[in-house]
A = this chain, B = another copy of it.
Amino acid sequence: MEFKTNVGMSETDKINVHGYDLVEDLMGSITLADMAFLGAKHRKPTEAESKMLNAVMVAICEHGFTPSSISTRLTYLGAPEAVQAAVAAGLLGAGTVYLGAMEQVAEMLKDGMDKHGADKSAAELATLILDERAEKGLQLPGFGHPIHRPVDPRTVKLFEIAKELGFYKKNSETINEISKQFNERKGKPITLNAVGAIGAVLADMDFDHRVMKSFAVASRAVGLVAHIVEEIESGRKESVGQQLFDYVEEHTDYTAKSAAAK
State A23–B20 Cα separation when bound (angstroms). 33
A74 contacts partner chain B, Cβ-Cβ < 8 Å? yes
A195 to chain B, nearest CB (A): 13
Q: In the complex, which of the residues B36, B71, B74, B253 contacts A5, with contact meaning CB atoms closer than 8 Å? A: B253
A262 cross-chain contacts in B, Cβ below 8 A: 19-20, 43
Copies in the complex: 4
Q: In the complex, which of the residues B12, B14, B70 contacts A248, with contact meaning CB atoms closer than 8 Å? A: B70
- Find out whether the CB atom of A248 lies under 8 angstroms from the CB atom of B85: no
A34 cross-chain contacts in B, Cβ below 8 A: 58
A119 contacts partner chain B, Cβ-Cβ < 8 Å? no
Q: How many residues of A contact B (CB 8 A)?
A: 130
- Find out whether the CB atom of A240 lies under 8 angstroms from the CB atom of B4: yes
Across the interface, name the chain B residue whose C-beta is closest to A223.
B35
Of the candidate stretches A149-157, A168-176, A180-188, the one touching chain B is A149-157
- Find out whether the CB atom of B149 lies under 8 angstroms from the CB atom of A12: yes
Q: A-B pairs with the 8 shortest C-beta distances?
A: A79-B95, A39-B226, A19-B259, A78-B93, A221-B221, A8-B64, A9-B254, A88-B88
